[in-house]
Amino acid sequence: MKKIKLIGLGKLLQVVHLPHLKKFYCITSCCDPRNKLLKSFKEKHQIDFSTKNVNIFFKKNKDSNIFICSSRGSSYSILKKAVVTNKIIFCEKPAIFNVKDAKELASKIKFKNQIKFGYMTRYDQSVVFLKKYLKKKKLNSKIDRIEFTLANNSFYQNSNKFDYIRTHEKNDFKFSKINYPKFVKSNKKIMYHVFLNRYSHVINMANFFFKKIQPISFNYKNIFNYNLKARCKNISIILNCNNKKKYLFKIHLYLKNRNQIICRMRNPINFYSSKIIFIGSSKKNIIKFDKKNIFKDEIRNIPVKKDFSSTDLYGVIEDLSLVQNFWKLVN
């Protein structure tokens, strides 16, 4: 069994990732700045070594791959320490808040896909099918408009049912700091943070299907609701980001012949079945995929170097570049 060590032991790690990590890897050590959480986590999951010191964490169990699920503010500094190892790294998003930091990190990586980031939606079966289907049928040139919609709310549905250690400690690593792009004004930093944390999935998905996207407009109702418009050659791209109660990720293609293709995904925290809907002039066809957990596929694929769905550091640079080009329309 492959070895992995964990840094950042909060709710996301425990509820979403840990069941799959324990299935595919031997956890050799763990790190977190919260003393009570660290002790309880080590004992509950019978992990041999734990520490709140990041430098000691990286010196111990050097043969283990690295899983980073720490706070947004601490992730970038941790990544800089992790890349000097020769190990594969998984890091939850958003770990990096500006293009400059991402490019600096890219200059230090040992190999192209050394770091994979937590954009799990690209592992959805319907997304993979749609990506390959468009290429096989040569439909990209026939797309008139595409809408990416993410209703990102109530992620932890019925949170009382989850079994995880909660100590109410508020401590973070002392080095935690978010490096916002210089052009983001002080009164917009919280908004930029929320957008990147909640809706970088939409940016990432758009870049999965298209390259050289040109932003046109950026409109927002409040920090949780956005409407972005862009173009890629002759294709109109719309990104809808909102906090409606029911979690939904939808990709809706409008073809020039008036046919439509819809990809619908539900809350990824559960096993679920996604589907592709083909709408023609006289009929509707639906392909429904078996129930799966896309986090499970994401975690299993961490050590896989040729991973069709993964987002590497260069992908994050593309995403951040697009985000910043949109945000320059705000500022």
Q: Is 114 left (phi over 0), alpha (psi -120 to 50) or beta?
A: alpha
What's 209-268 look like in SS3?
A: HCCCCEEEEEEEEECCEEEEEEEECCEEEEEEEECCCCCEEEEEEEECCCCEEEEEECCC
Whether the pLDDT of residue 150 is over 60: the answer is yes
Average confidence (pLDDT) over 72-97: 96
Confidence (pLDDT) at 282: 81
Please tell me which residue, 187 or 156, carries the higher pLDDT value.
Answer: 187
- Cα–Cα distance measured from residue 83 to residue 290, given in angstroms and rounded to the nearest whole number: 37
CA 263 to chain centre: 18
Query: Which residue, chain included where needed, has tokens 């935690």?
Result: 176
* pLDDT band at residue 155 under the 50/70/90 scheme: confident
The 10s digit of each residue's pLDDT in 98-109 is 999 999 999 999
Helix, strand, or coil (residue 29) = strand
Q: Among 108, 51, 53, which Cα is nearest to 85's? A: 108
Q: What is the pLDDT of residues 272-308, one digit of tens each?
A: 889 999 999 888 999 999 999 999 999 999 999 889 9
Q: Cis (ω within 30 of 0) for the bond into 33? A: no
Radius of gyration of the chain (CA): 20
Per-residue pLDDT, 267: 87
Phi, psi of 132 (to 5 degrees): -70, -35
Determine contact, residues 28/1, Cβ cutoff 8 Å.
no
Please state which CATH number belongs to domain 121-294+309-327. 3.30.360.10
Question: Helices (H) and strands (E) in the chain — how many of each?
Answer: 10, 14
Domain ranges of the chain: 2-120, 121-294+309-327
Q: Which CATH architecture has domain 2-120?
A: 3-Layer(aba) Sandwich (3.40)
pLDDT, position 160: 55
Q: Which two tokens stand for residue 308?
A: 């069709």
pLDDT digits (tens, 9 = 90+) for 24-69: 999 999 999 999 999 999 999 999 999 999 999 999 999 999 999 9
Q: Angle at CA 156, nearest 5°, toward 37 and 323?
A: 95
Q: Classify residue 251 as exposed, middle or buried by CB count within 10 Å of its CB (0-12, 13-18, 19+).
A: buried
Confidence of residue 238 (pLDDT cuts 50, 70, 90): very high
